[in-house]
């Protein structure tokens, strides 16, 4: 047997390069193996990177939530709406039992919701500052410093009015005067008159009321900014999601209410639009992009040139003079119109962009308020509760954060953080201090609780009695909320209020992230938690990070299926080519096969000869293809594949993907090659065994 195997191998190596057909077969096998190795390694690296992004940003290794939920949990749901989850009952007990499961490192309570904030407009912010100065003067008397500040702010408002007048003039060039709002024209006319400003000091509050009610609404630079936020135990979150890092400000102190804003959201939605567009152009050019070849970058340039109003509104007369002098010097121009100077300055191209970008941030940006919101400001967050009514809450923005390596990823960057006590209040559940507030309001107002069945009688039979329906605890008439003790509580700065840390375990939790000690035992831990839930009747649904990823988890599955289909198509084509090629090679070797049969070679020998030759060919060229694939992956790992957009940042778990090759990529590729070559050779090998000896003599003649 060993001798026969040696003979077959010698014949296989002798015939390896004797025919061009063998070279064709080898080329097909080499190319297919190369694609399988490279494609498998790239897909495996992307899946591994995505798992790090998903696990490290918010999902953890496992997510648990109530089995009574109407919808399946997903961090990034397919429809864009957050799933309707039922709260987990007795969270304190659940957390204690879950943390006792082997391989569980930590369990972090969570809840995801969406909200809106208003960024405010320039005149609102300026008028608020002016009102603050006026109030300070009324309370403590005027000082030279306050007088100078008031004069500067008044001039700034007058500058804003002049910009509005300019806008109105442009509109009148296009439309007839009848198309303009007469009330708006009258408001701008009054606010621009010397008489109005001469009387400002006599009645500052009356003038401010006019400006706030009639002038501010004419500015359309305010935005409703949508936010997605996670309510969580902020201390535990930062400790166990180690990719999280503070960029600006500080973490929310333990036991305090507060909001941590994503640095991505802060830059993308609250930054001066012109500055944000400049940043995007720079990012693209840093990745070897070109304004001349990219329509999107050209659009950013056009928008910067034409949308200068946001900058003009921020500059008071003194800052306007400084900006004009700066731009004249930079552009070598004598133009005195700031709008025209800005238009020319932002007319950037590949040659001048970096120089203009540096000038903007070095010289022009200090004159501007780059962000609508500053770290330390109190943010009013408006959200819908689970029962559908609107709830608002004031929270201090303690700082901004990002996930290391995912700084430019929109998927992870769109998630903000909030303390879980405030989350519960926004979601419609009563916190301890809200319950205390309600009790104080009820006591102060003499509110009486009644049964639902008597609500109509009490409401309409005794119209002066104030009641609270037993079925709707915590929902109080808004006017009553601000009376007596309730008013005192609502006036109290929410950011100064603290909560008992034990309240985290006692309240509502919608879902929880489970962090594992050893992620390699993920499936076993999933099974252990499910068994615990069944045994203790916890009513939990348990999913892995891949299922919790929602849309992204579907993408991983889709990418795997696409790769398998591509490999299947490649090797189906390879099987056809190899089959036809071996058939041709077998027909060309009819005399040789016939002679071997004539001198006594059995059919099994001929069958094994053809199979061994083809398998040897497959292993040699497959091994060569695998080696080339390994070399390609090594080069890609050394260079890195740049993430060309924000989505790829998340898929690559950073600005570059550094692919790695698993031994299984080589093994799978070679096994597939052997199977394909054997299947492709079976029929031609069978035909070779049917060649009778007489055919050899006929071929020789």
CA–CA separation, 168 and 177 (whole Å)? 10
Residue 595 has pLDDT above 70, yes or no: no
How high is the pLDDT of residue 239?
92
How does pLDDT run across 637-667, given as a tens digit for each residue? Answer: 998 888 877 778 888 888 888 999 888 888 8
How high is the pLDDT of residue 147?
84
Q: What is the pTM of this model?
A: 0.73
Q: Identify the band that residue 464 occupies on the pLDDT scale cut at 50, 70 and 90.
A: very low
Q: Identify the band that residue 61 occupies on the pLDDT scale cut at 50, 70 and 90.
A: very high
Q: Could you tell me which residues come within 8 angstroms of residue 230 by beta carbon, excluding any fewer than 6 positions away? A: 58, 110, 111, 112, 237, 415, 416, 417, 418, 423
Determine the straight-line distance between the first and last CA of the chain, rounded to whole angstroms: 35
Q: Identify the band that residue 555 occupies on the pLDDT scale cut at 50, 70 and 90.
A: confident
CA–CA separation, 230 and 82 (whole Å)? 11
How does pLDDT run across 482-538, given as a tens digit for each residue? Answer: 333 443 444 344 445 567 777 888 888 999 999 999 999 999 999 999 999 999 999
| Residue 139 burial by Cβ neighbours in a 10 Å radius (0-12, 13-18, 19+) | exposed
Pick the most confident of 64-68, 438-442, 463-467.
64-68
How high is the pLDDT of residue 512?
95
CA–CA separation, 212 and 232 (whole Å)? 38
Q: Identify the band that residue 258 occupies on the pLDDT scale cut at 50, 70 and 90.
A: very high
Q: Worst-scoring range by mean pLDDT, 218-222, 323-327, 450-454, 477-481?
A: 477-481
Residue 162 has pLDDT above 60, yes or no: yes
Do 659 and 412 form a contact (C-beta atoms < 8 A)?
no
Do 128 and 136 form a contact (C-beta atoms < 8 A)?
no
Q: Identify the band that residue 471 occupies on the pLDDT scale cut at 50, 70 and 90.
A: very low
Of 283 and 126, which is predicted with more confidence? 283
Tokens, residue 41: 């390694």
How does pLDDT run across 292-333, given as a tens digit for each residue? Answer: 999 999 999 999 999 888 898 888 888 889 999 999 999 999
Residue 37: how many CB atoms within 10 A of its CB? 26
Buried b (16+ CB within 10 A) or exposed e, 84-101: ebbbbeebeebbebbeeb
Question: What average pLDDT does the segment 568-587 reach?
Answer: 70
Question: What average pLDDT does the segment 61-89 reach?
Answer: 86
Instruction: Work out the angle between the directed axes of helices 663-689 and 603-639 (0-180°, nearest 10).
Output: 160
How does pLDDT run across 166-180, given as a tens digit for each residue? Answer: 766 665 555 544 455
Of 74 and 16, which is predicted with more confidence? 74
Residue 521: how many CB atoms within 10 A of its CB? 15
How does pLDDT run across 417-441, given as a tens digit for each residue? Answer: 999 999 998 888 765 555 565 556 5
CA–CA separation, 75 and 483 (whole Å)? 41
Which of 542, 508, 552 is CA-nearest to residue 110? 508
What's the mean pLDDT when you consider all of the chain? 80
| Residue 272 burial by Cβ neighbours in a 10 Å radius (0-12, 13-18, 19+) | middle
CA–CA separation, 547 and 553 (whole Å)? 6
Q: Which helix (H) or strand (E) holds 550?
A: none
Question: What average pLDDT does the segment 677-690 reach?
Answer: 69
Which of 29, 26, 17 is CA-nearest to residue 574? 29
Q: Which helix (H) or strand (E) holds 393?
A: strand 390-403
How high is the pLDDT of residue 665?
81
Q: How many residues does the chain have?
A: 701
Rg (CA), the chain: 36
């Amino acid at each position: 047997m060993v001798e026969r195997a040696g003979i077959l191998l010698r014949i296989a190596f002798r015939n390896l390069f004797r025919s061009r057909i063998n070279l064709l077969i080898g080329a097909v096998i080499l190319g297919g193996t190369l694609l399988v190795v490279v494609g498998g390694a790239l897909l495996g690296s992307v899946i591994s990177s995505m798992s790090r992004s998903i696990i490290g940003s918010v999902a953890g290794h496992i997510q648990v939530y109530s089995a009574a939920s109407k919808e399946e949990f997903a961090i990034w749901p397919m429809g864009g709406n957050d799933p309707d989850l039922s709260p987990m009952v007795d969270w304190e007990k659940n957390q204690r039992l879950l943390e006792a499961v082997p391989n569980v490192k930590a369990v972090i309570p969570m809840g995801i919701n969406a909200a809106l904030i208003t960024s405010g407009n320039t005149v609102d912010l300026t008028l608020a500052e002016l009102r603050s100065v006026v109030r300070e003067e009324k309370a403590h008397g005027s000082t030279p410093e306050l007088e100078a500040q008031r004069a500067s702010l008044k001039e700034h408002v007058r500058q804003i009015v002049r910009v509005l007048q300019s806008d109105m003039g442009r509109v009148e060039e296009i439309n007839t005067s009848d198309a303009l709002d007469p009330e708006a024209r009258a408001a701008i006319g009054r606010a621009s008159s010397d008489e109005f400003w001469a009387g400002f000091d006599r009645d500052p509050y009356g003038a401010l009321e006019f400006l706030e009610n009639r002038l501010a609404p004419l500015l359309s630079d305010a935005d409703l900014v949508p936010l997605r936020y996670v309510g969580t135990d902020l201390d535990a979150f930062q400790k166990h999601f180690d990719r999280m890092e503070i960029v600006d400000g500080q973490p929310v102190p333990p036991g305090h209410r507060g909001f941590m804003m994503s640095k991505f959201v802060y830059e993308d939605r609250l930054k001066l639009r012109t500055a944000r567009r400049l940043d995007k152009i720079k990012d693209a050019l840093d990745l070897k992009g070109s304004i001349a070849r990219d329509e999107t970058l050209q659009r950013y340039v056009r928008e910067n040139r034409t949308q200068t109003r946001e900058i003009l509104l921020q500059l008071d007369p003194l800052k306007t003079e400084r900006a004009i002098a700066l731009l004249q010097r930079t552009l070598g121009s004598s133009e005195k119109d700031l709008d025209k100077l800005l238009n020319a300055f932002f007319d950037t191209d590949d040659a001048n962009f970096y120089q203009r970008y540096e000038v903007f941030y070095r010289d022009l940006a200090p004159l501007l308020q780059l962000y609508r919101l500053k770290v330390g400001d109190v943010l009013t967050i408006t959200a819908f509760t689970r029962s559908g009514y609107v709830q608002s809450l004031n929270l201090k923005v303690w700082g901004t954060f990002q996930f290391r390596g995912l700084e430019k990823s929109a998927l992870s960057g769109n998630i903000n953080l909030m303390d879980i006590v405030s989350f519960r209040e926004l979601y419609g559940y009563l916190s301890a201090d809200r319950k205390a507030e309600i009790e104080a309001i009820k006591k102060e107002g003499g509110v009486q609780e009644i049964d639902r069945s008597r609500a109509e009688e009490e409401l309409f039979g005794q119209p002066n009695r104030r009641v609270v329906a037993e079925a709707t605890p915590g929902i109080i008439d808004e006017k009553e909320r601000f009376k007596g003790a309730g008013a005192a509580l609502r006036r109290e700065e929410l950011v100064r209020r603290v909560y008992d840390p034990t309240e985290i375990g006692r309240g509502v939790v919608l879902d929880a992230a489970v962090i594992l000690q050893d992620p390699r035992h993920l499936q076993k831990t999933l099974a252990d938690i499910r068994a615990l839930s069944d045994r203790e009747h916890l009513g939990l649904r348990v999913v892995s990070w891949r299922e919790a990823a929602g849309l992204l988890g579907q993408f991983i599955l889709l990418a795997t299926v696409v790769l398998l289909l591509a490999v299947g198509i490649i090797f189906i084509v390879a099987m056809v080519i190899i089959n036809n090629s071996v058939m041709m090679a077998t027909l060309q070797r009819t005399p040789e096969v016939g002679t071997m049969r004539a001198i006594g070679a059995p059919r099994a020998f001929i069958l094994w000869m053809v199979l061994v030759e083809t398998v040897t060919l497959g292993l040699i060229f497959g091994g060569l293809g695998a080696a080339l694939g390994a070399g390609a992956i090594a080069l890609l790992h050394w260079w890195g594949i740049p993430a060309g957009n924000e989505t790829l940042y998340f898929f690559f778990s950073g600005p570059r993907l550094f692919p790695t090759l698993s031994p299984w990529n080589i093994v799978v590729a070679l096994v597939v090659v052997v199977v394909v070559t054997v299947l492709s050779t079976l029929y031609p090998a069978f035909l070779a065994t049917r060649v009778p000896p007489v055919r050899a003599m006929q071929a020789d003649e």
